[in-house]
Chain A
Amino acid sequence: EAQVTQNPRYLITVTGKKLTVTCSQNMNHEYMSWYRQDPGLGLRQIYYSMNVEVTDKGDVPEGYKVSRKEKRNFPLILESPSPNQTSLYFCASRAGVRTDTQYFGPGTRLTVL
Chain B
Amino acid sequence: AQSVAQPEDQVNVAEGNPLTVKCTYSVSGNPYLFWYVQYPNRGLQFLLKYITGDNLVKGSYGFEAEFNKSQTSFHLKKPSALVSDSALYFCAVRRYNTDKLIFGTGTRLQVFP
In the complex, A107 Cα to B39 Cα: how many Å?
12
Q: Which residues of A contact B105 (CB under 8 A)?
A: 40-42
The range of chain B's interface size is 20 to 34
User: Quick check: is A34 within 8 A (CB to CB) of the other chain?
Assistant: no
Interface of A is mostly: strand
User: B90: which of A43, A45, A98, A106 is its contact (CB, 8 Å)?
Assistant: A43
Partner of A102, one of B42, B46, B51, B98: B46
0/1 string, B11-42, CB within 8 A of A gives 1: 00000000000000000000010101000011
Residues in chain A near residue B43, CB distance under 8 A? 4, 90, 104-107
| A62-113 at interface with B (beta carbon < 8 Å) | 90, 92, 98-99, 101-107
Contact yes or no, B42 A106, CB < 8 A = yes
- B45 touching A31, Cβ below 8 Å: no
CA A59 – CA B44 in complex, angstroms?
19
Residues of B within 8 A of A (CB): 32, 34, 36, 41-46, 49, 51, 90, 92, 94, 96-101, 103-106
